[in-house]
Structure 1
């Protein structure tokens, strides 16, 4: 897909504010892929960034060092199992057709686990979508943080994110991959719609549609998928933010995480509320 009739000129985002003592923290639900028409974002979001001393993304993509050898080792089956052993004949054939259309022989990836292959499909879908990482909201603010010489502190590492994906049981990995193969032709449209609903999220109907898209995706597989991909990570992020708030440095922090982490409970905001903080939704 190269064109869409969707209008991406909007304000976008979901923004919360937490104050503890002399310390202020803004929490933005962002989106990792975006469109040039997204920007500038809502005044409340732009001002929150401008007023912040420290930026906290999931990962600082400009400094993240990827150990490709380590990731490749994590991605490979650690025994004689192959992809065609764990996928049904039907889905392996469909996967082969998709890869072949992109000049990628499926045999090349037969020793890779389903979670890694699903990531390859997601990359193909991104290229068909009108949204790009170049206009991702995280990247937008990270670039500006570097220009403004703001401090940047990662909430996670690339390794820990890959550990989550590679840590799923084989049953869960197969479910995720087969579901993605089954709906592959619809995925670019799904992404385009997600971006539209995000950037128009100040409209209740778009916000509801956005949350439903994310919820349906997280709950389309078994319980393990949502717990590890979303819930556990949210709890860990909230614990880190709690430490910062308790330290009460007197600085202002701008946290930006994927929107699923702020709108799907147990979310980062709900976890902070559980810890006794008053969370103010400001956009």
Structure 2
């Protein structure tokens, strides 16, 4: 995964390799009124309207920590008022997640990553795995893109931001507590198929680029900068992160911009457009970068004639 860590795929890894239950510990101790009132603004929040129907659009990060919760009161009120919660992917179906990971991220029986990487790249991967404390045998059948994303998720967890504390899990816990309907904009199979669409050569480049950024610390440094921007609802910093991405020419940056953002945003806008026409009140949570810029989902909806208001 690119260093900005805005994709739900990190959640898929944590769920595949550990627990998959949406019972975020942040909900186990109810927040006091004082805590709720003092919660800072986090992320990005929009409201889209159509003929009396309302859809809130909340920008998330897919990792987290207990200190993130409770979320900003404006967000929790919007979610409580909504008839349904809509995520990029409903990660509660663990059987489907595992099938998707096996289909797109694991080589068939009899194949391994050693057959798909150069000797030099394989040696760099083994060195990175040693630093991470992950035995090579544990990842030998994983495809390069999947090993890369796993190493990044592990690095973020070591930096204090595990996927198990991600915003989506918290929102799912709230939805469960409030008996709220949950839907998804995409599927895990679709998201993982995008990574699997990279050629062997592109996957090797993707691996090497991210291994280099993990080794020199720039991946985590820039990832943490994005999280800080999210924590303070710093839209200027979020925009700067997107602009930096757009200026890069690496395989990772091009893939994130062209495929994971530009290709997916119009489809997300299509699904949200349907929600606006059929649901009185809905709450949609997607990665924050999907809501930024002239190709972001709010602007696409605005261009289609919907009323879109930025709340913060």
The interval holding the TM-score normalised by the smaller chain is: 0.7 to 0.9
Equivalent residue for 1:191, pick from 205, 223, 244: 223
Q: Describe the SS at the equivalent of 2:223.
A: helix
State the alpha-carbon separation in 1 of the partners of residues 109 and 67 from structure 2.
Answer: 47
Q: Describe the SS at the equivalent of 1:24.
A: strand
Q: Describe the SS at the equivalent of 1:28.
A: strand
Number of residues of Structure 1 aligned to a counterpart in Structure 2 = 271
Which residue number in structure 1 is paired with residue 304 of structure 2?
A: 275
8 Å CA contact 2:245, 2:257 repeated in 1? no
1:38 maps onto 2:45 in alignment: no
Q: Describe the SS at the equivalent of 2:263.
A: helix
Which residue number in structure 1 is paired with residue 260 of structure 2?
A: 229
Mean CA deviation greater in 255-264 or 85-94: 85-94
1:244 maps onto 2:275 in alignment: yes
8 Å CA contact 2:62, 2:287 repeated in 1? yes
Mean CA deviation greater in 71-80 or 263-272: 71-80
The 1:170–1:15 alpha-carbon spacing in structure 2 relative to 1, beyond 3 Å, is same
TM-score (norm 2): 0.76
8 Å CA contact 2:275, 2:282 repeated in 1? no
State the alpha-carbon separation in 1 of the partners of residues 100 and 182 from structure 2.
Answer: 25
State the alpha-carbon separation in 1 of the partners of residues 193 and 230 from structure 2.
Answer: 28
TM-score (norm 1): 0.83
TM-aligned CA deviation for residue 268 of structure 1: 1.4
8 Å CA contact 1:198, 1:210 repeated in 2? no
Mean CA deviation greater in 96-105 or 169-178: 96-105
Q: Describe the SS at the equivalent of 1:112.
A: coil
TM-aligned CA deviation for residue 107 of structure 1: 5.7
Superposed CA RMSD in Å reads 2.7
Which residue number in structure 2 is paired with residue 20 of structure 1?
A: 50
8 Å CA contact 2:106, 2:141 repeated in 1? yes
The 1:96–1:245 alpha-carbon spacing in structure 2 relative to 1, beyond 3 Å, is same
State the alpha-carbon separation in 2 of the partners of residues 169 and 65 from structure 1.
Answer: 27
Equivalent residue for 1:146, pick from 176, 181, 186: 176
